[in-house]
Structures are given as structure tokens and as C-alpha cells.
Structure 1
Amino acid sequence: MSPSPVLVLDQLSVRLPAGADRPHAMKDVSLAIAGNEILCVVGESGSGKSMTANAIMRLLPGGVTIDGGKVLFDGRDLTQLTEAEMRAVRGSGIAMIFQEPMTALNPLRTIGDQIGEMFDIHTGLSKQEIAAKVLDLLAEVRIPDPKLAARAYPHELSGGQRQRAMIAMALALDPKVLIADEPTTALDVTTQAQILSLIKDLQKRKGTAVLFITHDFGVVAEIADRVAVMQYGLVVEQGPAEEVLNRPQHAYTKQLIAAVPPLKAPPPRPISDEPILTIAKVTKTFRTGGFLGRGVRVTHAVKDVSLVLPKGGTLGIVGESGSGKSTLARCIVRLIDPDTGSLVLNGKDLAKLSREEMRRETRHIQMVFQDPFGSLNPRRKAGELVAQGPIVHGMDRAQALAKARELFGLVGLDPAATDRFPHEFSGGQRQRIGLARALALEPEVLVADEAVSALDVSVQAQVLRLLADLRERLGLSIVFITHDLRVAAQVCDLVAVMKSGEVVEAGPIGEVFGNPRHPYTQSLLASIPGREFGLNRDAVVA
């Protein structure tokens, strides 16, 4: 006999404001979750999965309303509670972990104060008792030095530590239900594995019901007891994780699973022996803080790195946050200057060029950034943003705008969309605009810094196919920075693994991932959630 559910969603519907792309964010959603169970709700952006969490917590944005159904918790329908009654439920009965702790945490208050506030509001504990509880919680979520972490401000902790602090806050009052909204999406593979292990461990020990929202099927394969798949606000499939992952019934579920890149690299393709970019002994050190030379913090971000990008090839650079991979990318395109070393592109050392000389050289080497929205000026039309580079390099404005329309077609966008602003595009479309802008100067080398990490799995697959197609058609050579080893396995010919600013292992992708020699590479590969998931996906989605 299965345990009775702790939380039940019965035909829950949430209406969007007039003018939205559809009437309902979610329609007639029915889900149930029992204690000591992890239910994963999976789907792409816009599927309604995060809105489901917000509806349960009654934290819907302005103009968005519940217009049908029930949310039953502890015998009460949460949709009928007053705001004061709902405040008593939040934290003590149902708690939530958010995707980005840096925006959820108050930057002006210490971690200890923010966790302690939960006890201050909901209990009658003394200050000393609250302080002791905070330290116990920080220890429970495996933060190395709880006393130091309690005194720290959010910006002084790493991404993984901030997420642990958020989990500590969510668990403070021993809630019956824990809602985790994409809590590992922005984390490195090893930190992600630690957070997933932590949530599973705490859930088992405390008997908590966990509603885990994600778009990552690797995560689903790692932790889910049951799975619900959402598309356009509807639950299109749900059932035991083993059943949904291995014998999916709905076409959309099959499509999502088919888009998961397997960890195994495809057969190697022939690439040139001729180098187009040679990185030799590049070093970059940052010095921060201190007064009159005292207390200066020295960070060796890149240490003596030497790599070669062959003509027409893709060199992947992988590693955790803080490994130095993005710093190296910025050195390559001279967004920051390396301290020592050379960056030879077609016989010319970029590291020795003046700013003016480098500006002229940028037509040969361009960068695609992780956050396409942050890197696109919201006040300018998309076509103007793409045309900007050619105009700066002397092209007539009308000719440059015509070229922008051509490039929109090249990256799979409607040429007529050049008159729209960045906010009028989806995340995947904005990443295509970023690609079009980078290609406008017809570069020989493209540096892609986490260019697909923020995208849904099917959109990610589309952008990766586009990159591979452009590489073949335009003869591009690509430096591909990523922390997602599954993605690296599919698009890279060569890979360099970075740790603490150094390259610890490098070589053909199939060799490095198939037979890793360095313990760090081995630990990265072992940490991938649902590591085997995707290897047999053709049989699963047939």
C-alpha cells in the first residue's frame, strides 16, 4: 500500500494576463507527492513547471491568478487561505529553494542573520538558541566552516555554498514539503552532484516530500522516484521514474529524452594538423583588496597555459567555476590582457598588439557570451546590433543591415525579425542573435563561452547543431568553453581540462573522456548526474 500524499494538486489552473501568449500558465494540473518521495517536474522554459511551484506557495506575479482547482496540504486548500494564513504555511509547512541564491539572498545581511530570521519569525527561541540552531543547520548542509559562513555575506561564499545556505534556510523549520526550483542548473558538475546528494540524504533522514523542478533529464535519472512531464502548461505524462525514462509514451517526452546529449563522444572527424591559434605559456593573475599593499588577495586565474586550436577544429575547455576557463577565453580575445605568454593567430601575436591594432584584428576572432540577454543592448533593434560590427569596420549602413538580414537567415531566424528588440525573442533565439553578431565580421575563430549552458535541452541541441553546421559551411575554428561534459563530448574534437588555472589533461575528446588519466578528470566524469542516461536513448525513444 503506497503512503498517503502530503501535497495534492487537484485540477489546478493558473490564468495569465490578457495579451500573454496563451490563456493559462498551467491548466488542470493534478499531481500528488508523498512523504519521503522525490517527484521531479520536468519541461522546457514556458512549460509551466516554475509557475506550478509559485502557485503552491501563492507567490504568483501581478496579474497572474489561480482560477480553478485546489492545492491540498494538511487537510486545507491553500488556494482559499488568507495571506496571513499562507505566511504561516511558508517555511514551516512548505519551504522553497530557488534557482539563483544570489538574487534570493539579501546582499546586505549575513548568512547567519538570514537563516536566523526563520526562527525569529516562527518560534519563540532566544538569540543564543537561534545562533546555535543556525550553526547546526550549516553543519547539516555540509558547509565546511559553519561559524565563518554564518558571519559571511552572500557574495563572500561560492555558488555551491550559497545554495547550501538556501537549503539550510528552507530546512530550518523541518517543513513537510520542500520545493526545489532548478537548484542545480547554474552549478558545476561536482557541486551539482554534492547538492543532489545532500537533498537526497536530507530527504531520506527527515522523511520530507520533495518537489524537484528541472529541465535536466540527467538530474531526473539521478534522484527522481516519480516524474511528471509538462508542456505548455499541461501534464502530458507522469509515472514512476524508471517507467517514464525508459519507456516514455508521449511524443514530447521522447523528444526531450532524444535531445539529451550522451556522454560518449561520436567517432572522430578528420581535422587539419595546421594550427590557426597557438596559446603558449599564458598567465593571468588578479590582485584584489588590501590597503597600502597590506591584505592583498592574489588569485592565479591562469597559470602557464599552452594549447593549440587546429584549423577547422573545435577545442573544448572544461572545468569547474574558478578553474580559469572563462578568464582564458577573455585573454584570447583580449577583453583582458594576459600578464605573460603569447596568443598567435595566423602568425600574429594578439598579446603584443596595441588596443587599436587589436580592434582591427577582432574581425578575425569573435566571442559568443553565455548570457545573450545581458550582452545585447535592450534599446537597440536586433538587426542594428548585428550590423554594428561591420559598420564600425567601414561597411555602409544599408549594406550592413542587409548583411544582418542574411545572417538572421543563416542562423535560422526570420530575416524580418531584425526590426524586433532583444526582449521580444526567446532565450534560444537571443543566442542565435549573439551568433549572428559574432559571425557578422566573418571571423576565422569563434570563442563560445558557456554559450548553451542556460538553454533548455532541445534548444541547446538546436544551437549545437547550428554551430556544427556553421563550422562546416564557413570553415570556422571554435574554442568552446563549458562545464557541461555531455555537451563537450558531442561538439569538441579536442578537450583541455582546467583546474585552479592549470591544464591538467588535454587530448582528443574520445581519449580523454574514454580513458581519463588525471584524478580530477575522473572525478568530473564520475560526478555527472545520471551518468549513463542518454547512452541507450535511441532504444528508449524508438
Structure 2
Amino acid sequence: MSAAAMTPLVRIKDLSIALPRGADRPFAVETLSLTLNAGEIVCVVGESGSGKSMTASALMGLLPPSLPVRSGRIMLGERDIVRLTEDELRAIRGPEIGMIFQEPMTALNPLRTAGDQIAEMFRAHTDLPRAEIEARALKLLDEVGIPEPASAYRAYPHELSGGQRQRVMIAMALALEPKILIADEPTTALDVTIQAQILELIRDIQRRTGMAVLFITHDFGVVAEIADRVMVMQHGKVVESGSAEAVLHAPQHPYTKALIAAVPSLMPPPPRALPDQTIATVRELSKTYRTGGGWFGRKQRVTYAVKSASISLPSQATLGIVGESGSGKSTLARCIVRLLDPDSGAIELGGVDFGGLAGEALRRQRHLVQMVFQDPYASLNPRRSVGDLVTQGLIARGTKRTAAMARAKELFTLVGLDPAATDRLPHEFSGGQRQRIGLARALALEPKVLVADEAVSALDVSVQAQVLKLLVELRDKLSLSMIFITHDLRVAAQICDRIAIMQRGEVVEHGVTADIFAAPQHPYTQKLLSAVPGRAN
């Protein structure tokens, strides 16, 4: 790294951020010091609650009043961010510091198109004419890998997939080519091919502008791919820091060693012996979305989300569905669960024509297949206790409330939660705990098939390892069959007996996981495997 690149852009000295009274520790971040130099990427890793996102929020001046900075400085050149006014902070957000947030659906305005929100960055900070602003916004959408940028420019956030929404957030953060980029889990929701493009895009802008990057991630593959330096946090404190080479290959602290040991291998275990029985079959399923059109002259968009997809799920097995964002894997899962009605095709489940059911007949059979969603917080009603949420389905099926709550406590024990916590609200739990609550709710109705839609993608590696281990234990103990949707090929390698690869709504390869990973036949599968970050690690 050149001398120019070693210019300190940010100097954090002895930063401590207080937690509210009654929290499990006094400080969210305690006496943290960090120098962020031009032209380098510093990765911050640690478990949920370690303080890494709080550090990023402090650097952006976005800490809520309930989490004040108790001591320390955050120097941006000669300015202390801690002491800037809101107007002064607003002036540096965008041109000097950009941020990619972890949850694009909550960070994007649902009432404005994606293109308009990117264009707003230019309108607020430049005097460029309207045509030039639109051209730059379209170019950014193309650079971050969104197909059909012109259509995405006119689309509202809810009309885009989760990965596409994240790419819009990345485009907004990079729009003004800031000196400093804070990336808070920016590739968590992205498949490996787009993840590789985003990492390369960040590197490219960095080479051209000397941008410094503070990159928060739980993915050690990404750390191996992109980091110059690594800072490991635990309970608000930095427990280890150093060059990426030193931390990844010769970690010193037991916590760092445990995190690295929890990273799943890309090499699948030998295939398990499975019963010679199929629990679910999907034949020639198709689903098309039509948006826009109508009285206001807006052109109708037709999206072929799933095209003639066929898969089979062996009894007591785990079938992984893998593909890029927008490939149709979540739409396929929602059709199987009957949250969506397919346009055509058949779904057989446990000998029942599940796809042909409707009305009361469908309600009686819904318990056969249950779903665990990607974002457990968004799928849990924040105003109801978690015990009420877990018992909802049981009570709706006629179970008395006392018996239903007793069953909820049993399920909490089964998924590794304190049964005494059933009266607490969702926000009182960590992300990993909320995912366990989602599991307990899904298992309450004793399904034959459990569908997990990116159920561990937002979790750090140690919690992810715990949830994956729990899923395997539950599958074996309860004789469950699972459909596991993921963009993480390392996770798929370890938990899935069989795998289906989807591209543009079609299943392009389907077979035993170990066979596909050892000798992928389709060019797209080969591309996915070659794009896994840090795949040699």
C-alpha cells in the first residue's frame, strides 16, 4: 500500500457507547480505538450484539439518543463527529461517508421508486441536470448487477427481490463516490455471483478514488476475499486485530478461533442413507407476476418467476434450493406452502393433492407444511408475546389455550430457549433467538415438511452453526423433511442431502449434493461454485 493510501481518514480513540440501564452490560462499545486509512478495507467481525454495527452507526452520527457516546472521539480529518450538529452531519453523509445498511426494506422509502431514491443523492448534493442524474442512476443500477436497469429504475421496493433491494442500497451509498464507505453486512442477502460483483465493484471504486471501507460481516469467506485488516469484537470490546493474513491463519484469541472454526466447509459430507420414499413432489410448476398497467398508462411488467419447475423431496431428507436473487426459489417455496397460488403445475404432499386444495379443505391441511422466514423480526408481530405467537396456530385448530401454552413451553425447550420467556416480546430477543422462536412456531402444528427460506443468512457464523445443528437435530428427532432455501453454498453443502439449482425461474440441475459439488454439470452451477468467496479457505 502506497504512502498516500496510508493517509488516515478516520481516527477513533477510546470510544465508549453506553447502553440503557438494565442492559446485560454497561457499554455497547467500550474503549474502542481504530484508524481507517485511505485505500484499505478493514473488516469488523463478531457475534450479534458485539457492538460492530453500533461502531458503524457512531461513525455515521446515527446513534439514537438512548445510546449516547460516553467518552472518546471519532475524528474525520480535524472534525470530531461526536460533536457535530445534525446539519453538519447531514452535509458529510453521502459526499464524505456513505453507508450500506443491512436491511434494505426498512432503509428504502416504500412510496418512491428505486431510481428516484438513487437520484435523490445527486439532487441533494450536486447541481447536475435531470437527464444526467437519471443516466448516472441507471449506470449505477447496471454496475451493481441489477438486470434490466431501466425497469428497476421505475420499480418500487416491494416489486424488487430482497437481493435487488440490497443492490439499490449499494448504488445509493456509492453514488457520490464517498471517501469512506461503511458497509454493514452488505452482501448478506446476495447470492455468490452478485456478491463477487459487489466486492469487485467496491475494490474498483477504491482503486480509483482511494476510498476507505469499514466492512462489517459475519462471512469469513468475504473477509478472506477482501480484507486488508481485521478487527474482532466480542461484548463491545476489540479482542483481536491485525492483518487479514495473521488473523485468518494464525488467530490468537480463543473467540477468534471459535468463530473461524464455525465457518461451514464447502466440502459436503458423504451422502446419508435415506428411506426409499418421497414425501413431496412438484411437477411442472409455473408462476407469473404482472405489475403496472392500468388507467395511468404505466407499462405492464411481466415476470416469469417460476417456469415449469419440477423437484422431489425424499422423506426425512433436506432439499436445498439455490440460485441467484430473483431466480424464483422463494416464489417456488411460497407456492409449495400455498402462500401463493401457482398458475399451473401440481404439488403432492404426503399423498395429498396439496396444490389442488382450496377453501376449508386447504385450511385443514395447511399444517402439513410450515415455513420459517428469512427475517424473523419482520415475521413476528412486535405487539404480541412470543408465547401467543407460537400458540396462534394451535388455538386456531381447537387446542385450549392452557394446553397450547404448555405445548409452546415444550417447543421452547426443544429449540433451546428458556420456557419461562414465553411472555416476552420479540424485540427482547437476539436475532438467533428470534429465529428459534420462528422454528418453534412452525413446529407447533407438527408439519411433515418444514420450509426454511434463508433461515440463517442474517446470522453470524457461530449462531448460524448453532441453528444449523438444531435444524439437523430436529429433522432427525421429529422425522421431518425440509426444503432449505439458501444462497450460501457452504451452508447448502453441510445441511442438504439433495440440491436443486435455479436460474431465471427454471431448475437447471437437481441431484445428490455431494455429486453436484464434486462434478457440477450445468455451466451456471459451475459459475456459482467458482464464485464462492474465500473458497480456498
TM-score, with structure 1 as normaliser: 0.90
Q: Deviations over 1:104-126 (max 9, x none)?
A: 34455566655555555555x4x
Between the aligned partners of 1:31 and 1:517, the Cα distance in structure 2 is 46
1:500 aligns with 2:537: no
Equivalent residues in 2 for 1:169-188 (5 A)?
169-188=172-191
Q: Which residue of structure 2 lines up, in the alignment, with residue 7 of structure 1?
A: 10
How far does residue 416 in structure 1 lie from its aligned partner after superposition?
1.4
Kindly tell me the number of residue pairs found equivalent between the two proteins. Answer: 530
1:398 aligns with 2:398: no
Q: CA RMSD of the aligned region, Å? A: 2.7
Asked whether the 8 Å contact 1:16–1:64 carries over to 2, the reply is: yes
Equivalent residues in 2 for 1:355-370 (5 A)?
355-370=359-374
Q: Deviations over 1:122-181 (max 9, x none)?
A: 55x4x43x7536635753674489994796355366666655554454445553322222
Between the aligned partners of 1:388 and 1:117, the Cα distance in structure 2 is 43
Given the superposition, is the C-alpha separation of residues 486 and 358 from structure 1 closer, same or farther in structure 2, using an over 3 Å criterion?
same
Decide which structure has the larger Cα Rg and report it: 1
Asked whether the 8 Å contact 2:119–2:137 carries over to 1, the reply is: no
Matching residue's letter, 1:44: E
How far does residue 271 in structure 1 lie from its aligned partner after superposition?
0.8
Asked whether the 8 Å contact 2:161–2:325 carries over to 1, the reply is: no
Asked whether the 8 Å contact 2:177–2:205 carries over to 1, the reply is: no
How far does residue 79 in structure 1 lie from its aligned partner after superposition?
2.8
Q: Which residue of structure 2 lines up, in the alignment, with residue 538 of structure 1?
A: none
Between the aligned partners of 2:74 and 2:303, the Cα distance in structure 1 is 50
Matching residue's letter, 2:506: E
Which stretch of the first structure deviates more once superposed, 160-169 or 496-505? 160-169
Between the aligned partners of 2:439 and 2:12, the Cα distance in structure 1 is 42
Secondary structure in 2 matching 1:62: coil
Between the aligned partners of 2:119 and 2:85, the Cα distance in structure 1 is 25
Asked whether the 8 Å contact 2:474–2:480 carries over to 1, the reply is: yes
Secondary structure in 2 matching 1:497: strand
Between the aligned partners of 2:132 and 2:292, the Cα distance in structure 1 is 32
Unaligned runs of 5+ in 1: 534-542
Secondary structure in 2 matching 1:22: coil
Which stretch of the first structure deviates more once superposed, 474-483 or 347-356? 347-356
Q: Deviations over 1:473-497 (max 9, x none)?
A: 1111111111221111111100011
* Residue among 49, 64, 69 paired with 1:61: 64
Given the superposition, is the C-alpha separation of residues 103 and 131 from structure 1 closer, same or farther in structure 2, using an over 3 Å criterion?
farther
1:16 aligns with 2:41: no
Between the aligned partners of 2:352 and 2:124, the Cα distance in structure 1 is 63
Asked whether the 8 Å contact 2:142–2:149 carries over to 1, the reply is: no
* Residue among 510, 513, 517 paired with 2:514: 510
Q: Deviations over 1:249-289 (max 9, x none)?
A: 11111111111111111111111121111222222233333
Q: Which residue of structure 2 lines up, in the alignment, with residue 279 of structure 1?
A: 282
* Residue among 338, 341, 346 paired with 1:334: 338
Q: Which residue of structure 1 lines up, in the alignment, with residue 308 of structure 2?
A: 304
1:234 aligns with 2:219: no
Asked whether the 8 Å contact 1:221–1:245 carries over to 2, the reply is: yes
Given the superposition, is the C-alpha separation of residues 88 and 510 from structure 1 closer, same or farther in structure 2, using an over 3 Å criterion?
same
Asked whether the 8 Å contact 2:218–2:459 carries over to 1, the reply is: no
Percent sequence identity over aligned pairs = 64
TM-score, with structure 2 as normaliser: 0.91
Q: Deviations over 1:302-346 (max 9, x none)?
A: 222222211111111111222121122122222222232222223
Between the aligned partners of 2:17 and 2:376, the Cα distance in structure 1 is 29
1:260 aligns with 2:263: yes
Equivalent residues in 2 for 1:15-414 (5 A)?
15-109=18-112, 114-115=117-118, 117-118=120-121, 121-122=124-125, 125=127, 127-128=128-129, 131-132=131-132, 135-136=135-136, 139=139, 142-143=142-143, 148=150, 152=154, 155=157, 163=166, 166-291=169-294, 295-414=299-418
Secondary structure in 2 matching 1:279: strand
